[in-house]
A and B are shown apart, each in its own frame.
Chain A
């Protein structure tokens, strides 16, 4: 294995995962319910990574990411149902998802521009308003089914597609975070004025962060719409945004692995609590409050394992960060 070309070696793990994602459901070993939960876990992983970019790495507080998800979900669904010929739909599905992401990224501008001048609580209110505007716009668009929702999508989302997009998201986020732009994003969180005074073009960096984040949320929305085969504006309410917040703050702010962890734990927890009926919807907000009080950085806050980081920037093995004496 150590003789393999490094590029090939790097492909082994993703290829294995994808093969597994295809083989497991096909073999019939997993019952369809478990497969469904796995797909939700994957979709939530994408959403959590997306939100973590803004809330964890950049240190802003978006509470309206379900708005981006909605734009992606509706855009992808409209394309599948109205534009793409039914026979081609399975083949064009990834393109449809990317188009949904692009539409969401475009809507990300609505939040990115206010972020140039406002931050903190005020920007949080802007994102909240964005979420509410998207939801009520969809409720009033009769062409898209209004409050009744939009349907007719075939079930195109499969476990291999989810796995592929989770991997893509992870790679994009990792590449972004460990780059000049990513360092600029974190610098904005640490000290925005100092960032500008060390030549960071804070507006451009914020724009990039919101574009990428909204794009990923939009892709997740498309995947979600093609699992359920039915979407309505209520699926993208503030409650959905709250779920994303819980996953970020549970897994860990500013951590890629934490995002994956938070999405997995929370999704599985909600499934386990299904017998509680309506009460399980209290779990999310309650968990959020408890986390904010007792462990605001989450399980993995601001940390990632060596294999996820940029190899050239790693400290020597066994390096102990010097502590202040």
Chain B
């Protein structure tokens, strides 16, 4: 069964058509790419999948279930985790707390048990604290565990977002320009990390990325958007030579090896 089936997804912001007739199917274990010039509608696809916006038309199915009208927290709890183009951490909270929040829906105790410190409270807290610390170790963030997220260097903030996404053991991971603002060496390390976590966590991944080296290196299949329309889909080789893709990127200063639109804070 497909992990994600998107059919004919369309979205308007007022009169602006941000996405039209977008379809995509991801099978288990796949690592697919989504590219396109600035403003093409890539982030909008992520926002529609995760319930930030209600689509104007079309349907999204996750593991066979229709999730189109679900609220965000329910979609995430069902197994779709994501990171953000402009890092969105809980800045004043500790790194440990940031990661544990990723498992908010998995904490199995009631308000009452929390207020009285009874029942499942202690065991559940211990379980998720240990899970979070293990992930921090895995992503080389242990020494920051008690640091407020805002104090982390940029690259570590990106890794923390990945840790927060992974703790809930999602089936599908959406990465929105994870290599934005990274130099070649950093991007290289990130690619290795993405490959590793995909294998270890049994993930299906959809990746938005401006750095062509990263997308082409990681993804077996790439979809290209331009002005909300899918202009091409196929293997990296096909995409590289696709006339409409070249046309869409033509006029850009550095066609197909452009630096991401993400900004350092």
Contacts and interface: CB of A to CB of B under 8 A. Distances in A.
Contacts of B33: none
Please report whether the interface of chain A is mostly helix, strand, loop or mixed according to DSSP: helix
Interface string B136-151: 0000000111111011
A313 B129 contact: yes
B92 interface: yes
Contact of B114 (A181, A199, A302): A181
A176 to B, nearest CB: 6
B116 A175 contact: yes
A321 B151 contact: yes
User: B interface, how many residues as a size bin?
Assistant: 35 or more
A118 interface: no
B64 to A, nearest CB: 20
Contacts of A191: 88-91
Given A186-B93, A194-B84, A200-B104, A324 B73 contact: no
Interface stretch (B8-16, B94-102, B186-194, B223-231): B94-102
A73 to B, nearest CB: 23
A323 B71 CA distance: 37
Contacts of A184: 101, 104
B46 to A, nearest CB: 10
B109 interface: yes
Contacts of B150: 324
Interface string A159-182: 000000000000010011001111
A180 to B, nearest CB: 4
A82 interface: no
A180 B109 CA distance: 9
A198 B82 CA distance: 8
A191 B104 CA distance: 15
A190 B104 contact: no
Nearest to B79: A199
B204 to A, nearest CB: 18
B59 interface: no
B77 to A, nearest CB: 5
B241 interface: no
A322 B104 contact: no
A201 interface: yes
A198 B168 CA distance: 9
Interface string B52-91: 1000000000000000000111101100011010001111
B52 A197 contact: yes
Contacts of B152: 322, 324
Given A179-B114, A179-B121, A181-B111, A199 B93 contact: no
Interface in A283-325: 302, 310, 312-315, 319, 321-325
A187 to B, nearest CB: 5
Contacts of B77: 199
B147 A187 contact: no
Given A179-B121, A194-B90, A322-B151, A208 B129 contact: no
A324 B151 CA distance: 5
Interface of B: 50-52, 71-74, 76-77, 81-82, 84, 88-93, 96-97, 100-107, 109, 111, 114-117, 121, 124-126, 128-129, 143-148, 150-153, 164-165, 168
- The 7 A-B residue pairs with the shortest CB-CB distance in the complex, in nearest-first order: A315-B146, A179-B114, A190-B90, A199-B105, A196-B72, A180-B107, A199-B76
12 contacts: A175-B115, A184-B101, A187-B90, A190-B90, A191-B91, A197-B82, A198-B101, A199-B103, A202-B73, A313-B129, A314-B146, A324-B153
